[in-house]
Amino acid sequence: MVVVAAVVIAVLIAAAPMLGSVTGGRISAAVCEMAGGSDCGGEPGVVGDPVTAGEPSSSSPAGSVDEDYDREDAGRDARDSRRDDQRREEPAPGPGPADPGGDSPTELGDPVPGESADWPEAPSWQPVDEGAGEYNSEDARARDHAVKFLAEGGAHALSGTWPDASRNLLHFLGNTGEPLDQDVDRILGDVPRLAGEYEQRVDFYGQTAIETAQHNGADGPVTFPLSTSWTGFYIGDSDDPNWFRAMGGIEYAIVGQVTVYPPSTEGGDWTYQSETSFVLRDEYNWDADKSTNILGLEVSDDELARLHRAGLAQEFTMTGESMRMTREGP
């Protein structure tokens, strides 16, 4: 029974970070669903009441190591997560075609004659928040080693359910800090809402390119390079549970080119043909404002963040680029 209890605690504790602030989920409903329950109740994964990070667990006796640990956490200066609002909330609908004759913001470059242009680079990217703090800036404690051990075991146990969430967590715990490439084509296939927003924005740039070429009086094919600014998107649990837990909020840019063709016959349609790719960036880190009491043990996102500061795990950049997509229209 001791062994069984240890395994259950390990899986639950390891599930907590994958269901924490990076993913926006919690624990018990997910475990219930994995066990085949049909009425798991409440929000996905809610376990009791959330506890503010740094607040002593009610199950810990006064003067315990947990209480001392939490007191030190409470005394630490608060860190500003500065997460973009658009990564916290559902994104607004993508842009529609520009108003005829009106000014419209565009990220198209200057057109060049012909049917091709130099493929542009994505703009430089910086994380939208400061993460957990300076790497290896605090002493590692026995509890930190225990949290890492349990998180690794739980991530392996859940790899069949949420393979990419498990992979990203294990890379964090692997402590290399190296960027990790994500399968962007699979993300777009698994998250139709994101793929739809991508296609809608490409069509917007196609229409804008046609309007610009008409305004400039183009009499032959012209090609616009395209490199957009970074846009936030939040992958929710209803979009795809695996990517929700693996990434949650991401940022993306679109790069490529748009070629505009004048009508081949008098009175015909202007048309465009685009070739683009979807570039993804996100920083894998942990917020410091959530925690959950599991079987009397306080497990917070801040404890996962602390592994970075203790030199036992390391934040990293998630990267990726899709295959090139071609679209056309009048």
pLDDT in tens, 100-155: 333 334 689 999 999 999 999 999 999 988 889 999 999 999 999 999 998 898 88
Q: How far apart are CA 276 and CA 302, in angstroms?
A: 39
More confident site: 18 or 154 = 154
Q: How far apart are CA 293 and CA 29, in angstroms?
A: 15
Q: What is residue 318's predicted lDDT score, i.e. its pLDDT? A: 98
pLDDT digits (tens, 9 = 90+) for 157-175: 889 999 999 999 999 999 9
Mean pLDDT of the chain: 76
Q: What is residue 182's predicted lDDT score, i.e. its pLDDT? A: 98
pLDDT digits (tens, 9 = 90+) for 1-14: 555 445 555 555 55
Q: What is residue 238's predicted lDDT score, i.e. its pLDDT? A: 95
Report the domain count for the chain. Answer: 1
Q: How many CB atoms lie within 10 A of CB 8?
A: 13
Q: Per-residue confidence at 281, pLDDT binned at 50, 70, 90? A: very high
Which residues lie closer than 8 Å to 54 by C-beta, 6 or more apart? 70, 71, 73, 74, 76, 291, 300, 302
Q: In which residue are the tokens 């475990």 written? A: 31
Q: How far apart are CA 300 and CA 289, in angstroms?
A: 8
What distances in angstroms separate CA 140 from CA 137, 169, 303, one per listed residue?
Answer: 9, 19, 11
Q: Per-residue confidence at 279, pLDDT binned at 50, 70, 90? A: very high
Q: Which domain holds residue 210?
A: 2-329
Q: What is residue 301's predicted lDDT score, i.e. its pLDDT? A: 81
Antiparallel, parallel or unpaired: β 180-181 and 316-321: parallel
Mean pLDDT computed over 31-35: 42
Smallest CA-to-CA distance from 286 within 130, 162, 179, 154 is with 130
CB burial of 248-285 (b: ≥16 within 10 Å; e: otherwise) equals bbbbbbbbbbbbbbbeeeeeeebbbbbbbbbbbbbbbb
Antiparallel, parallel or unpaired: β 325-329 and 112-113: unpaired
Confidence (pTM): 0.69
Q: Rounded to the nearest 5°, which phi and psi values hold at 198?
A: -60, -50
